[in-house]
Amino acid sequence: MRRAVDSRDIPQDPPYQGHDVVYEHRTRIQVFGAEHRQDALALADLGVDHLGFCPAEDRILAAQQASLSVEDAKALLSELPEHVHSVLVFASPDPDLVREVAQSVRPDYVQICWEVDTIGPAREARLRADLGGIKVIKEIGVSGPDSREAALSAARRYENAADILILDPQGDAAYIGATGRTHDWSVSRAISRTMRLPCILAGGLGSDNVEAALQVVNPWGVDSFSRTNRPDGRKDLGETRAFVEAVRRFDEARRRRGLRRPSGSSMSAESE
């Protein structure tokens, strides 16, 4: 069973209602690289909303970072507090693998980070339908100003194949993300303003730059991996704490100002 938590400690957020209303919700914080049990539980206690894990069955990612077998993932996820959402990330473009692992582990989300059109939106939509309520986070590659139109086009193509978009640079690997590099945040701002799906901002985010990124993009969530890692691959809990505190400072400042999103979007999403 998941660890019991005092419901008074869990902020109760109203639905995320779109660009034309005051944002009342907390920015969702997603952190990957939580394969070690002590790290995962500590990150949950720090206030991280989404914890990301690499399954050992995904050979592309498991060759480069810590990973969990299906059985180990099931055991670890069973210990997470109920307010923490689990995410399994996949770089191998194999829908059968994603279905098999996800249906065994039963995470809250799967995150698809293979190159955008490797299998196409129709097959990814079928995969989402097959997952039986497990939500899909779709990676969209972003970089400089010249990537704006391609990224917007990709985001639109996958609107019906995902529940959330994550906007992240692509490096030299055959998948998106894990570069430790930032990108032109105006590109992500344009996507976040345009799409009806909630968007997570990713790419080189740490405690020293996440508030600036939030000011520019004002996304539904933010993601950190490389900048909250220690050299040995474990999570840097001090940096993660500072990262969480920086996001919450932004949330409080936004609440006080009554910051509004630019008008012109029909984006909506239910709170988790």
Q: Read out DSSP for 159-186?
A: TTT-SEEEEE-B-SSSBB--------HH
The tokens of 188 are what?
Answer: 């992500």
Q: What is the pLDDT of residue 7?
A: 32
- Tell me the percentage of the chain whose pLDDT exceeds 70: 81
Would you give the DSSP letter of residue 268?
A: -
Q: What pLDDT does 10 receive?
A: 33
pLDDT of 227 reads 85
Contact 151, 141 (CB under 8 A): yes
How much is the mean pLDDT over the chain? 83
Is the separation of the CB atoms in 174 and 91 below 8 Å?
yes
* Residue that wins the pLDDT comparison between 30 and 149: 30
Torsion of CA 33, 34, 37, 42, to 10 degrees: 130
The answer to whether residues 6 and 250 touch, using CB atoms and an 8 Å cutoff, is no
- Cα dist from 72 to 61, 85, 108, 226, 251, whole Å: 17, 17, 16, 23, 35
Q: Is the pLDDT of residue 95 over 70?
A: yes
For residues 41-52, give the mean pLDDT: 96
User: What is the distance between the alpha carbons of residues 188 and 190, in angstroms, rounded to a whole number?
Assistant: 5
Round to whole Å and give the CA distance between 228 and 243.
8
Task: Quickly list H helices, 70-165.
Answer: 70-77, 95-105, 121-130, 148-157
Residue that wins the pLDDT comparison between 35 and 268: 35
Question: Residues 156-207: pLDDT tens digits?
Answer: 999 999 999 999 887 666 656 556 677 788 889 999 998 999 999 998 899 9
The DSSP call for residue 2 is P
pTM given for the model: 0.84
CATH topology of domain 26-255: TIM Barrel (3.20.20)
> How far apart (Å, rounded) are the C-alpha atoms in residues 52 and 106?
13
